[in-house]
Structure formats: structure tokens, C-alpha cells
């Protein structure tokens, strides 16, 4: 599997992205979170910790999606422009090791982003007297799983289309993946068999991102059974593994000369 070469590529990728100051968003979101915390303390009554939690989880999700979309789409094109990708043609680094290493490096940045913003959110909630429920930790974990799945969707589309089209397609998949479950339950959809079939096919083939959205359950203190959480986590990991295999197969056949 060329683990040493994967480690080298992932380390290089992590350092390069880190030097691009992409995590500067953590600084600005952190400041915004502190402002929201102050406002929640001074001007809200009863549940200021819920305001901070809502904002923190929302910004966490938004920033992780942005990293997956806009860094994932350039994961290969940037290397082609800088000509570093051509080392896979001279055989010191197998193609699968190169692409896996790039993905791991980017996921390292994503994990760091989520760890920092998630920790800030938990600190603010605790500061406001809120309780750190296990479901909050699940919500932070699921944010990473969603970003992992979205990243792989972006990379698959970027290997087959240009960057702009890839971002658009991936954004559509993300939006539909969050809306498909609620759409199936609408009276308009239930009364139309053809639409129901289309939605079921979509639900079966494309990722159901709604499985990883726990914010409403967290904010309104709703409980979720452990088997649902574990099954959603397993679904995300297995779907991501499938997309990783697709990425490797496409990249192995892609002409990068």
C-alpha cells in the first residue's frame, strides 16, 4: 500500500495548506462566537447557552463545508499547475498513494478546523452555564463525517469536470442530500408515485447528508437512540470508503500528461 509514501504526501499537503492560512477562519469565527456569547449573556433570557450553541454548530458546519468544497476541488488541479503531480508519472510515488496522501492531508486540516471550532463552542456553552450533553459531541463528530463525505463527492466530480462545475454539482448533491428525506414526507411527493420512485432512487444511490444533521435535536434537547447514531456513522464511513475506491480507480485511469 506504500504507507511511507502516503505519509510523506499527506504531511506535505497538510503543511502546504496550513501555510496558506486557510485556518484564519477559525480566528474570525472565534471572535464572532465570543461576541455572540456576550450578546447572549446580556440580551437573552433563559437560554443564552442555546444561542451560543446554535451559532457555534452553524459556523462549524459552514466552515467545514467550505473547506471541503473549495479546497477539495483544487486538490488535483493545483498540483497539475505546480507540476508536482507529474512525479506520479516517474514512478517514485504510485498514483493511489499520491491521491490518498493528498486526501489525508486535507482531512487533517479539516479535523484541526473542527477540533478548534468545536472546542470554542463547548467552552462558550460551558461558560454560559450550559451542560455538555453527549449529543453535542456526536453533532461535532457528524460534522466531520459530513465534511469527509462531501470532500470525496467533490473530488469525484473534480476528476470528471472543471472546477466551477464540480463545485456546483457537489453543492446540489449536498442540498438535495439534506432535503431528500423531508421531501419524501411532503404530501405533494406522497401523492405522486413517479416522484416517490425518483426520490427513492436518489436516496439509494446518492448520499443522504440529512443523517448527519443533529443540530435541531441538540438545540431542543431531543434524544436519539444509540443505534441510530451508530448506523448513521457506519453509513457515512462505508459510503466514504466506496467513494475513495471510486476516486482511486478514476485517478489511476486519468491522463495527467
The mean per-residue pLDDT over the stretch 43-62 comes to 80
Contact 147, 70 (CB under 8 A): no
Q: What is the dihedral of CA 119, 122, 127, 128, to 10 degrees?
A: 150
Taking the C-alpha atoms of residue 133 and residue 42, their distance in angstroms, rounded to an integer, is 24
Report how far residue 103's alpha carbon sits from residue 169's, in angstroms, rounded to the nearest whole number.
20
Can you tell me the distance from the alpha carbon of 154 to that of 74, in angstroms, rounded to the nearest whole number? Answer: 9
Q: What per-residue confidence (pLDDT) applies to 157?
A: 92
Whole-angstrom distance, CA of residue 149 vs CA of residue 27: 25
Question: How much is the pTM?
Answer: 0.88
* SS3 label, residue 135: helix
Cβ of 192: how many Cβ atoms within 10 Å?
13
Cβ(232)–Cβ(142) below 8 Å: yes
Instruction: Please tell me the number of Cα atoms within 13 Å of 164 on its side-chain side.
Output: 0
Tens of pLDDT, residue by residue over 146-196, are 999 999 999 999 888 888 898 899 999 999 888 877 666 666 556 667 766
Share of the chain above pLDDT 70, in %: 84
Measured CA angle at 104 (ends 102, 106), to 5 deg: 70
More confidently predicted of 157 and 94:
157
What Rg do the C-alpha atoms of the chain give, in angstroms?
20
* 231 backbone φψ class: left, alpha, beta (φ>0; ψ -120 to 50): alpha
Amino acid at each position: 500500500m506504500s504507507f511511507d509514501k502516503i505519509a510523506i504526501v499527506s504531511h506535505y499537503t497538510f503543511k502546504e495548506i496550513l501555510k496558506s492560512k486557510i485556518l484564519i477562519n477559525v480566528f474570525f469565527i472565534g471572535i464572532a462566537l465570543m461576541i455572540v456569547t456576550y450578546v447572549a449573556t446580556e440580551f437573552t433570557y433563559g437560554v443564552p447557552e442555546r444561542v451560543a450553541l446554535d451559532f457555534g454548530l452553524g459556523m462549524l458546519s459552514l466552515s467545514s463545508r467550505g473547506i471541503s468544497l473549495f479546497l477539495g476541488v483544487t486538490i488535483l488541479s493545483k498540483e497539475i499547475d505546480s507540476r508536482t503531480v507529474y512525479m506520479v508519472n516517474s514512478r517514485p510515488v504510485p498514483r493511489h498513494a499520491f491521491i490518498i496522501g493528498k486526501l489525508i492531508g486535507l482531512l487533517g486540516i479539516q479535523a484541526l478546523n473542527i477540533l478548534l471550532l468545536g472546542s470554542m463552542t463547548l467552552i462558550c456553552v460551558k461558560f454560559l452555564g450550559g451542560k455538555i450533553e453527549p449529543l453535542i459531541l456526536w453533532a461535532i463528530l457528524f460534522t466531520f463525517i459530513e465534511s469527509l463525505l462531501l470532500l470525496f463527492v467533490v473530488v469525484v466530480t473534480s476528476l470528471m469536470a472543471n472546477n466551477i462545475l464540480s463545485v456546483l454539482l457537489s453543492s446540489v448533491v449536498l442540498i438535495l442530500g439534506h432535503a431528500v428525506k423531508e421531501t419524501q414526507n411532503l404530501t405533494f411527493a406522497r401523492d405522486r408515485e413517479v416522484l416517490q420512485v425518483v426520490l427513492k432512487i436518489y436516496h439509494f444511490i446518492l448520499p443522504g447528508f440529512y443523517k448527519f444533521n443533529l443540530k435541531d435535536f441538540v438545540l431542543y434537547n431531543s434524544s436519539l437512540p444509540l443505534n441510530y447514531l451508530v448506523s448513521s456513522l457506519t453509513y457515512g464511513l462505508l459510503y466514504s470508503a466506496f467513494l475513495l475506491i471510486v476516486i482511486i480507480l478514476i485517478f489511476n485511469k486519468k491522463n495527467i500528461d
